[in-house]
Amino acid sequence: MSEFDAIFVGAGHNSLACAAHLALKGWKTGIFERGATIGGAVQTREYTLPGFRHDFGAMNLSLFAGSAFHKKYANELKSHGLEFAPVADCFASAFPDGRWFGVSNDLEKTASRMAAFSSADAATWRRLVDAFPGEAEHLFRLLGAPMSGRALAGTAWNLWRKKGFAGALDTGRLLLSSPRAWLDENFESPHVKATLATWGMHLDFAPDIAGGAVFPYLESMANQCFGMVLGRGGADTIIRALSGMVTAAGGKITTGAEVAEITVAAGKATGVRLASGETHTATKAVIAGVAPKALAEKLLPNGTSDAGFDAAMKKFRHAPGTMMIHLALDDLPDWRAGAELRQFAYIHLSPSLDAMSRTYQQAMSGMLPDEPVLVVGQPTAVDPSRAPEGKHVLWVQVRMLPAEILGDAAGKIAPAHWDNIKESYAERVLDIIETYAPGLRQKILGRAVFSPLDLERENPNLVGGDQICGSHHLAQNFLFRPARGYAGWNTPVGNLHLTGAATWPGAGTGAASGYMLAQQLGGR
Ligand SMILES: Cc1cc2nc3c(=O)[nH]c(=O)nc-3n(C[C@H](O)[C@H](O)[C@H](O)COP(=O)(O)OP(=O)(O)OC[C@H]3O[C@@H](n4cnc5c(N)ncnc54)[C@H](O)[C@@H]3O)c2cc1C
The answer to whether the CB of 70 is under 6 A from ligand 1 is no
What backbone torsions phi and psi does residue 71 show, to the nearest 5 degrees? -60, -45
The confidence score (pLDDT) of residue 308 equals: 96
Q: Which of 356, 346, 324, 357 is closest to 447 using CA atoms?
A: 324
> 288 CA to middle of ligand 1, Å?
13
The answer to whether the CB of 159 is under 6 A from ligand 1 is no
Ligand 1 atom closest to the CA of 507, numbered from 1? 19
> 260 CA to middle of ligand 1, Å?
19
Rounded Cα–Cα distance for residues 8 and 519 (Å)? 16
The answer to whether the CB of 57 is under 6 A from ligand 1 is yes
Quick one: average pLDDT of 208-234? 98
Residue whose CA is at the smallest distance from ligand 1 atom 5: 58
Give 339-354 pLDDT, tens digit per residue.
999 999 999 999 999 9
The answer to whether the CB of 503 is under 6 A from ligand 1 is no
Confidence of residue 1 (pLDDT cuts 50, 70, 90): confident
The confidence score (pLDDT) of residue 487 equals: 97
The confidence score (pLDDT) of residue 338 equals: 96
Q: Which of 45, 55, 346, 467 to mutate to test the pocket of ligand 1 (most atoms within 8 A of CB)?
A: 467
The answer to whether the CB of 59 is under 6 A from ligand 1 is yes
Q: Which of 374, 459, 503 to mutate to test the pocket of ligand 1 (most atoms within 8 A of CB)?
A: 459
The answer to whether the CB of 14 is under 6 A from ligand 1 is yes
Ligand 1 atom closest to the CA of 298, numbered from 1? 41
The confidence score (pLDDT) of residue 130 equals: 98
CB atoms within 10 A of CB 119: 12
The answer to whether the CB of 461 is under 6 A from ligand 1 is yes
What backbone torsions phi and psi does residue 401 show, to the nearest 5 degrees? -130, 150
Quick one: average pLDDT of 244-262? 98
Q: Which of 509, 515, 516, 517 to mutate to test the pocket of ligand 1 (most atoms within 8 A of CB)?
A: 509
The answer to whether the CB of 337 is under 6 A from ligand 1 is no
Residue whose CA is at the smallest distance from ligand 1 atom 41: 259
pTM over 0.85: yes
Give 486-518 pLDDT, tens digit per residue.
999 999 999 999 999 999 999 999 999 999 999
Ligand 1 atom closest to the CA of 259, numbered from 1? 42
Quick one: average pLDDT of 383-399? 98
Give 78-117 pLDDT, tens digit per residue.
999 999 999 999 999 999 999 999 999 999 999 999 999 9
Q: Which of 453, 456, 398, 374 is closest to 420 using CA atoms?
A: 453
SS3 of residue 429 by DSSP = helix
Kindly give, in sequence order, each residue whose CB lies less than 8 Å from that of residue 115, ignoring residues fewer than 6 positions away.
121, 122
Confidence of residue 250 (pLDDT cuts 50, 70, 90): very high
Cα–Cα distance list, 491 to 313, 461, 470, 511 (Å): 10, 18, 18, 20
Q: Which of 14, 401, 489 is closest to 204 using CA atoms?
A: 401
Ligand 1 atom closest to the CA of 62, numbered from 1? 11
The answer to whether the CB of 324 is under 6 A from ligand 1 is yes
Ligand 1 atom closest to the CA of 39, numbered from 1? 49
The answer to whether the CB of 512 is under 6 A from ligand 1 is no
The answer to whether the CB of 462 is under 6 A from ligand 1 is yes
The answer to whether the CB of 287 is under 6 A from ligand 1 is no
Rounded Cα–Cα distance for residues 159 and 213 (Å)? 19
Average pLDDT across the chain, whole number: 98
Q: Which of 42, 198, 263 to mutate to test the pocket of ligand 1 (most atoms within 8 A of CB)?
A: 42
Q: In terms of DSSP H, where are the helices of 177-254?
A: 179-186, 190-202, 214-226, 237-248
Rounded Cα–Cα distance for residues 501 and 265 (Å)? 27
> 11 CA to middle of ligand 1, Å?
9
The confidence score (pLDDT) of residue 69 equals: 98
The confidence score (pLDDT) of residue 48 equals: 98
> 16 CA to middle of ligand 1, Å?
12
Q: Which of 34, 44, 274 to mutate to test the pocket of ligand 1 (most atoms within 8 A of CB)?
A: 34
The confidence score (pLDDT) of residue 365 equals: 98
Quick one: average pLDDT of 67-76? 98
The confidence score (pLDDT) of residue 256 equals: 98
What backbone torsions phi and psi does residue 219 show, to the nearest 5 degrees? -65, -45
> 452 CA to middle of ligand 1, Å?
14
The answer to whether the CB of 458 is under 6 A from ligand 1 is no
